[in-house]
Structure 1
Amino acid sequence: MDEPAEIGSRIQRMRNRLGLTQRQLAEPRYTAAHISTLESGKARPSEAALRFLAGRLGTTYEELTTGHPAHLATELRLALTDAQRLLATGTPERAALRYGELLADAERLALPAEQAGARIGLGECALVTGEPARARAHFEQAERQLAGEPAPRRARAIRGRAVAHFLAGELRYACYVLETALDELAAGDLHDPDALVLLHAASIAPYMDMGAYVRAAHAAEVALALAPRVSDPALVAGMHRSVARTLLAEGRIADADASLAKAQELYGRLHLRTELAHCHWMRGYVHAQHDALDAAEAELRTAREMLVDRHARLFVAQVEVELADVLRRLGRHEEARELLSGVLDLDDTRGAVHAAGAHRLLGLMAEERGEPESAEEHYVDALGFLKRSGAAGDLADLCMLLGDLLRRMGRTEAAMDAYRTGLRNRAIPGTTTLGPAPGHPAPYGDVGAGPASVYPFAL
């Protein structure tokens, strides 16, 4: 925002151009004396006053406070919507280039909300391409710029930062970030379906990797119960975007802004496909735990297809590990090995948990083929990945598998070492539970009334 003297001078120029007196501009909310004080630059106007005066002067709040023509801000918002569409349709590299250009424009025009929007877009691009550190930096900056906004407006940035921590192996902190945001929504009675689905669904993966299966199941139940309120928005968003272009060409800035706001909201919902894919993955996991393997395969393939469409490689890998386990149990070992070979090609600094899961399954299949030495190699590789990731609960379970294998091979001392390592990790507080399981029904409005609430999530 410019200095009071500059804003005051701008108000005076616009008023004179319209042929208004100070009293005519002020009424019915303010006095002529107040307008005189503002025009002289003797006081900094409030945001409410500036928005009122912008409406009376036929301009926008941004133009009145910064001097930038209104159409520039609207054109920037339109361009952000286009970049959001690029990302939603699965071209993260192109979208990142566009978001970078738009961030520079937003900084030049001193538009903090648009800067935050561009940074969230850059962060989401980095998540899709598997760059958690870069993503986290963008989301943190966006959160700072949106600090005064309600929690639902910050949900995309919060979810993004949590996912970045998760992909970096910081599982407990990712859960903490998401739970804190959900607590804020609940405390403020803010039952926003989009925000709740984003945050609950994003918590599934870190809960699962930590062994907090009941919490993961509860999060999936809540997200799926809310999902019917979040419909596919692509066609409607495209319509609003086209209308905004027409209105902008006609000089109808305010109407174009309103149409763009609707388009941006709808395009934002397209990102929920990643979160809903996590819910299908969770359902597949639960089916597998109940030996309903055909149903598990169907859910996991649905999740995988949704994530492939989003180019979310690390999340695809996570689902592929679960799907490979189901295929192994169905006796389809060749299909399972083919899936796992792709997981092992991931950069081990970004896919450590998934690579560990792949090696664990390959070890199990080697045992089933009667190849204990090969199984041991896979288990040891998996342990190395898990030590780097901090997934202590999984590490303890793997030590049990390795210990049992070594004991059957007659290597008692080595087996004891493996068991001791597992016990040390199992004893770490919080590795397999985050406290009492969430109660039922879910604490958000009428969530329990949805069709997903009857799904058998008891583990």
Structure 2
Amino acid sequence: MGERDEPEVIGRRVQRLRSARGLTQRQLAEPTYTPAYISTLEAGRVRPSDAALRHIAERLGVAFEELATGRPARLVTDLRLRLTEAQRTLATGEAEHAREQYAALLAEAEGYGLDEVLATALLGLGECALDTGDISDARRCFERAEEALAGLPLPVRVPALRGRAVSHYLAGELRYAVYLLESTLDELNRGGLHDPDALLLLYASVIGPYMDMGAHARAAQAAEFALALAPRVDDPALVARMHRSVARTLLAEGRLTEADASLAKAAELYRQLQIRTELANCHWMRGYVYAQGGRLERAEQELREALTMLTAKRAGLYSSQVAVELADVLHRRDRSEEASALLHDVLGDLSSERGAVHAAAAHRLLGIIAEDGRDSEAAEEHYVRALSLLERAGAAGDLADLCRLLGDLLRRSGRVEAALDAYRTGLGHRTAPGTTTLGPAPAQPPL
């Protein structure tokens, strides 16, 4: 038998529907069953078979599912269709509209006790919140989705786990984000649960935190695994996301042409899917690639395109992060006043709990601009703020560079002991990148 309510609930439903239609127990029972059977059923003292329920449903003029579960006919199918529409809405960049659609679906799923629909709606709401920068709300949605999926196999729960990890990452909690992603990868690989979609989603998601923590070797390995898994995955959006993440690793290794090619593949897939947030992120990363290669005019074009796309869809957190990258390019193009104004505008949208790594990057760049203008006091203030943000986030690679900048500033002002302390702190973070903050690498998939 399929999913259905308890006998007492079904019995009361049958009695209510029979009375509403003016039928006697005999009229409902004929010709297959007896009035006594209907009486026993309505009293909740017998669990009716599917055949009995189909007979009664036909006599009452209702669908079998409605009689067995209390849900209107085709409810689940209709909800899934609406879920697909909400997913499409989110994919085309209308996060606020998608949030309204998912919220309505969540309310209906809660009312009818449909855990699968409820979990999918919560995942959608979490993605909407990530898009608009509501990190705390996103985390709550992903946590609730995990609870709804608690009894299901791990591969089914991976999107919720990954969403929670990303929300911690964007909040600046890099180590915990890596812990969540790595422990889930370990459980999948050691347990023989080699689901390509789940593994690719996790490997693509862990690249960013690895890079920010200075664990470049692990980021490169995760990228290799993701690339090896890509041919086994049917979801083009997932493959496109993977290409965008892999580009960060290629960039760190100085493979600019390959990074650009990887981003071009992702951009083409996203154009086909009309996923504007991710497409904007591709422009963002391409701008970063061009900036690293010294092609500053092209970098500015790509970053402005990303910023325009993200601002149009009110993706506040991502817009602020792109603005920091753009400000760096503007500064390098000798437009420091414009860069400084842009940074001060976005700092109001960033904090230690929301975009900590990019908030630190903004303060770091403002410190450099202040140094250029011979304002050592302001420069030191910005560097110290950046240092505090990065220490909280555990971004080892960025910390080492920042300590060098702060140490140089302190040394030039004659504060040698303070400069030495800053250098020592930086050297501590440069020791064996990835090993001082991370445990053993997760188990590998059988590729």
**Partners of 2:42 and 2:432 in 1: how far apart?**
65
Q: CA deviation at 1:395?
A: 3.2
| Contact map agreement 2:390 2:399 (CA 8 A) in 1 | yes
| Correspondence for 1:404 among 394, 403, 408 | 408
CA displacement, residues 394-427 of structure 1 (integer Å, 9 cap, x when unaligned)? 3343222101111012222332343344456667
Aligned to 1:189: 194
| Correspondence for 2:86 among 80, 83, 87 | 83
**Partners of 1:164 and 1:413 in 2: how far apart?**
39
Q: CA deviation at 1:367?
A: 2.9
**Partners of 1:161 and 1:61 in 2: how far apart?**
39
Answer with 381-390 or 141-150: which moved more: 381-390
How is 1:37-76 mapped onto 2 (pairs within 5 angstroms)?
63=66, 65-76=68-79
**Partners of 2:414 and 2:176 in 1: how far apart?**
41
Answer with 97-106 or 108-117: which moved more: 97-106
CA displacement, residues 378-397 of structure 1 (integer Å, 9 cap, x when unaligned)? 21232243344444553343
Q: Please give the TM-score of this superposition, normalised by the length of structure 2.
A: 0.67
Are 1:199 and 2:202 matched, yes or no? Answer: yes
Q: CA deviation at 1:358?
A: 0.8
* Partner-residue secondary structure (3-state), 1:90: coil
Answer with 309-318 or 373-382: which moved more: 309-318
| Correspondence for 1:360 among 359, 364, 373 | 364
Are 1:95 and 2:98 matched, yes or no? Answer: yes
Aligned to 1:155: 158
Letter aligned with residue 413 of structure 2 = M
Q: CA deviation at 1:112?
A: 1.2
**Partners of 1:232 and 1:3 in 2: how far apart?**
41
Any stretches of 5+ residues in structure 1 without a counterpart? 23-36, 234-266, 446-459
Are 1:343 and 2:346 matched, yes or no? Answer: yes
Are 1:112 and 2:115 matched, yes or no? Answer: yes
**Partners of 2:273 and 2:221 in 1: how far apart?**
23
CA displacement, residues 104-140 of structure 1 (integer Å, 9 cap, x when unaligned)? 2211112111211222222222222322222212211
CA displacement, residues 158-188 of structure 1 (integer Å, 9 cap, x when unaligned)? 2221111112322111122223334455432
Aligned positions, number: 389
Q: Cα 1:282–1:102, aligned 2, differ >3 Å: closer, same or farther?
A: same
CA displacement, residues 234-264 of structure 1 (integer Å, 9 cap, x when unaligned)? xxxxxxxxxxxxxxxxxxxxxxxxxxxxxxx
| Contact map agreement 2:170 2:356 (CA 8 A) in 1 | no
**Partners of 1:290 and 1:114 in 2: how far apart?**
46
| Contact map agreement 1:212 1:432 (CA 8 A) in 2 | no
* Partner-residue secondary structure (3-state), 2:346: helix
Q: Cα 1:393–1:44, aligned 2, differ >3 Å: closer, same or farther?
A: farther
| Correspondence for 2:420 among 406, 416, 423 | 416
Answer with 281-290 or 321-330: which moved more: 281-290
CA displacement, residues 1-59 of structure 1 (integer Å, 9 cap, x when unaligned)? 52145458989999x9899969xxxxxxxxxxxxxx999978879xxx979x98xx899
Letter aligned with residue 190 of structure 1 = D
How is 1:379-398 mapped onto 2 (pairs within 5 angstroms)?
379-398=383-402
| Contact map agreement 1:288 1:326 (CA 8 A) in 2 | yes
| Contact map agreement 2:306 2:322 (CA 8 A) in 1 | yes
Q: CA deviation at 1:297?
A: 5.8
Q: Cα 1:67–1:332, aligned 2, differ >3 Å: closer, same or farther?
A: same
Q: CA deviation at 1:357?
A: 0.4
| Contact map agreement 1:204 1:216 (CA 8 A) in 2 | yes
Q: CA deviation at 1:270?
A: 6.0
Aligned to 1:238: none
Q: Cα 1:61–1:168, aligned 2, differ >3 Å: closer, same or farther?
A: farther
Answer with 298-307 or 356-365: which moved more: 298-307
| Contact map agreement 1:201 1:278 (CA 8 A) in 2 | no
Q: Please give the TM-score of this superposition, normalised by the length of structure 1.
A: 0.66
Aligned to 2:321: 318
Letter aligned with residue 377 of structure 1 = E
**Partners of 2:159 and 2:342 in 1: how far apart?**
31
Q: Cα 1:184–1:332, aligned 2, differ >3 Å: closer, same or farther?
A: farther
Q: Cα 1:19–1:166, aligned 2, differ >3 Å: closer, same or farther?
A: farther
RMSD: 4.7
